[in-house]
Structures are given as C-alpha cells and as structure tokens.
Chain A
Amino acid sequence: MKYRSVFDIIGPVMVGPSSSHTAGAVRIGRLSRALFGRKPSHIRLHFYGSFAKTFKGHATDVAALAGVLGLEMDDPRIPQAVDLAQEEGIIVEYIAQEAVPPHPNTLMVELWDEQGRMNATGQSLGGGLVQITQVDGFNLGLSGESPALLIFHKDAYGTIASMTQLLAHARININHMEVSRKDKGKTALMVIETDELVEPAVIDRMNAQENVYKIIKLEL
C-alpha cells in the first residue's frame, strides 16, 4: 500500500497552493536540512520536470526554502521564506534543470557551509508525501515517516550484521532497511528506518565499529 494512513488522504494541513508542489517541497527541504544536520550558509535548489516548469507559480521555490529553514508545511511564515533566509544571512540560488527526471516532481537540494557540503534529491509523490531518492550520489528510498539512520561505511563483510546486532541489543525494531554502494569494496550507504528513536549512546557504539565512517541520525 502506497498510502498507509487516512491522514495521507484527509491531510496534510498545509499552506497552499499545491500538495505536491508546495507541501511536498517543504518536506523535501526539511528532510534535506535534517540530513545536513545544521544551518547551511548556502542553499542551491535544483528543480526538475514539472517542478522546473512551474516552480515559481506554485511557490515551490519558496516552499523548499522554507523547509530548509526548518519550517513545517502548515507554518504561516512560509510565504516569507525569502525574507527569513535573508535575515539569517543565507545565500540562496534557484536553478531550473533541463534533464528529464524519473519522477515529474523532483527537487535536488544542495547545502553547504565552511565545514562541508551535502546534496539530497527528493521526489514529491502527491498529497504531501515525499521520498528522498539520493544522498551524496547514493541511491535510497527514504520516506521520512520514521526515524532513520544513514550509515556511511566501508563496503566490507560483517558491517551490516554488526549494525543490526547493536540495534537488536538496544531493543530497536527495524521497519525498513537498504544498502547502496557505488563501487564494490568502496564506501556504501546503509539506511535503517526504525520504529523507535535510537539513543545517542547506541549510535556512539555503532560509530565506534570498524568500517563505519559517518552516521547521520534522522528524526522529524
């Protein structure tokens, strides 16, 4: 079932005008910000497909920016997102891309500051539901509906087992999991969506494991 909850249908409560172009864009922006983990100094928003054609009219630009600033989709300040970004001294760029994406409503969010940079691609599936399909070049399918861990690790045997074992010890239930890699034996990305929030102490133990480079904790 693509839609699990009745509130995917009767909802979300949101700032208009479009659930896929406005509310969905806020969510992709928020998820990108959560994955980045801090306030960026630069935001570059790339619009693809239908988003590229109509982003101004649906306020997709304003909505995505509002999301990156951390606003919820029903926040009445969304129309003022451009001013809010300016007040915070954040530099924002908007780019309409020509490339044809797999999904018509696709947005790539590039965020950076002096400490580092990250890019995430999201698809707006309709009704305000979204999916993050790519983070820093790794393919994934993250809904943002549950807490998740994004574990960047060396593509080596035993890593997946050690991560799931630590979660099992902490009595954390995994509801979805996937692994993506660019090349055999290089860096891989493990995405684990959980029913419960994962305690910082557990994440510390996971981080201490051999072959683990970086863990991003996603909670919304």
Chain B
Amino acid sequence: MFKNISELTQQATGQGIAKVMIDNEIEVTGRSREDIIAIMARQYLVMKTSVKQGLLGVRSRSGLCGGDAKLMDDYIKQGPKLTDTCFIRAISYAVSVNEVNASMGIVCASPTAGSCGVLPGVLVAAQEKLNKSDEEMTMALFTAGAIGYVIANNAFVSGAQGGCQAEIGSAAAMAAAAVTELAGGSPQQAAHAAAMALKNMLGLPCDPLAGLVEVPCIKRNAGGAANALAAAEMALAGVESRIPCDEVIQAMYQIGLEMSPTLKETAQGGLAATPTGIEWKKMLWNND
C-alpha cells in the first residue's frame, strides 16, 4: 500500500513502480496477478484500437470537431518535419483518441474520458519508437495508473472538481512517469517527470465550448502529450523537480479548490465565454 508518491517511489526502488501497483491491486481487490495483468492488457488494446480509429477521420455529433488526427497523419507521411516523428505521432495519436471520444466511440478513460488521449498518444508513439512489446506497454500502464491513483486519492482528476489541470494535468503526469520508466528511468526519475509535467499545467481551467468535451479538450490532449514528453526527456537527462511530486499534487489540489466555478466544466468562463464560444453555444443549444 502507498498513500503518496514518496512512499510509492521508496517501495518501487529496485523493482519498478508497475510492480508496486500490481501488488497493491492484488491486496485491495483480491484478484489474481494474472487476471489483473490481463485486464490491463485489454485496456492497452482498447487504447491502440482507438488510436487507429481516429486516424481514419471521425466527426462529433455537434460538428465542432473531427478530422484533425487524419490531417496530422497525412502531414507525417509527407516527409521530414520540424520535430522527431515520435513526438508528432504522440500528439496526433492524442488528438485521434480524443476525436473518437467526442464522436461517441469506445475509449479507455485514463484518468477520464476528457483526457483519454494523452496516455495512448504518448505510449503508442513510444512503443513504436522504442520497439517495446505489448507486455512492456501493459506494465507502463500500471506505472501511469500508480501516479493517477495517488493524485485521485489526494486531490482530484475531474475537470468539474479541479479544472483541466486535474484532468489533462494528471494524464500528462501519468504519461510522463510511464514513459520515463519505459525508457529506462528510475522510479525517482519517473516521479520527477510526473512532478514537472503537472507543474506545467497548474492553473489550467476546464472551459469547454458549449460544455462539450471537444474544444479545447482535444487539442489540449495534444498539449498534454507534448508536455509529458518534455518532462520525460528532462527527467531522463537527470533534471529534477525542485518541488517534490507530492507537494505539486497538493498545490494542484489547492488551486483547484480556489478556482472559480465558472472555470470548472460549467461552460461559463474562459474559452467558453469568448464571443465565438458563446456563438457556438447558442447555435448548438437552439438547434437541439
């Protein structure tokens, strides 16, 4: 059992974060190790399927979004780009999965549906880049899960409670830690990666146009994926977060409590309250 990131990394020293998460799951649920790993393997399969589905081009019912993952995929195929292919894939896959979500397709919430693109984006792109097996990716999901588990139990992971920092911020922290361990980083480095990724998203409001999980959620998933990779690269280089991960989580929690209700999924503030946001809201609600 672990209550915070500091206990988690201590227990994970020498064996990795994923194993500690699996042991915790056995203890809490009484399920067998094999069953637990099999369920997680299925979650990863759902993630990969949703990545592929979105690249074909899907549209949401509102007409607000769709087709951007396909645009990105076509762009990647045109040849060398500004950044590394792994990086562009991570952001295009993140967009892809979140477009599938907006079109009422099947996704794996991680930690929520609004933030379901970040982990698959980063992990599927990393799997392709690092030539990892699905078994190794399943372990990476347990690492991500451990970080999310601590955040959810000590703060929150929903936009309605803590703003987008709680949702895509948490997803980015989870992805950063998972990909850091996947690339050979230590549990401590993974914790620093999570801390850095979450720090970069502190204060982010949940301000979706017309209350839909579309704008800006889909592109913010791309932002979350990019941020996770930035944090992972820093951690792997030996950069440390000056503020320990547990304190960053506490800061996120406090900011979420202090955030105005207009910025917590109510579609009353931020981008939702821009002239364009208000126009879309009128158009969508009146047409319904």
Contact = CB atoms under 8 A, between A and B. Distances in A.
Interface residues of A, number: 40
Interface in B88-103: 100-103
A7 interface: yes
Nearest to A62: B104
Given A1-B153, A6-B149, A127-B157, A13 B213 contact: no
Contacts of B148: 9-10
Contact of A11 (B106, B110, B157, B161): B110
Interface in A114-142: 125-128
A9 B106 contact: no
B281 to A, nearest CB: 9
A78 to B, nearest CB: 7
Nearest to A103: B160
A13 B24 CA distance: 21
Interface string A25-50: 00000000000000000000000001
B107 A105 contact: no
A79 B105 CA distance: 9
B34 interface: no
Interface stretch (B69-77, B137-145, B193-201, B238-246): B137-145
Interface in B149-205: 149, 152-153, 156-158, 160-161, 174
A39 B267 CA distance: 35
B145 A9 contact: yes
Interface stretch (A51-59, A154-162, A186-194, A200-208): A51-59
A171 interface: no
Contact of A14 (B103, B106, B158, B211): B106
B22 to A, nearest CB: 8
A17 B212 contact: yes
B107 A16 contact: yes
A20 B212 CA distance: 12
A203 to B, nearest CB: 24
Contacts of A126: 112, 156-158, 160-161
B141 A8 contact: no
Given A6-B145, A10-B145, A74-B106, A50 B29 contact: no
A16 B158 contact: no
A193 to B, nearest CB: 15
B214 interface: yes
Nearest to B214: A17
Contacts of B144: 9-10
Contacts of B62: 57
B25 A18 contact: no
Nearest to B146: A6
B265 interface: yes
A19 B29 contact: no
A84 interface: no
B127 interface: no
A3 B152 contact: yes
A126 B152 CA distance: 10
11 contacts: A6-B142, A10-B111, A10-B145, A13-B106, A16-B101, A16-B106, A17-B114, A20-B158, A23-B109, A53-B267, A54-B265
Interface of B: 21, 24-25, 28-29, 36, 39-40, 42-43, 46, 60-62, 100-114, 116, 119, 141-142, 144-146, 148-149, 152-153, 156-158, 160-161, 174, 210-214, 264-267, 284-285, 288
Given A10-B43, A12-B108, A126-B112, 16 more contacts: A3-B153, A4-B28, A9-B144, A9-B148, A10-B144, A13-B42, A13-B108, A16-B113, A17-B104, A17-B114, A17-B212, A50-B265, A54-B267, A58-B213, A59-B61, A126-B158
Interface of A: 1-23, 50, 53-54, 56-59, 74, 76, 78-79, 104-105, 125-128
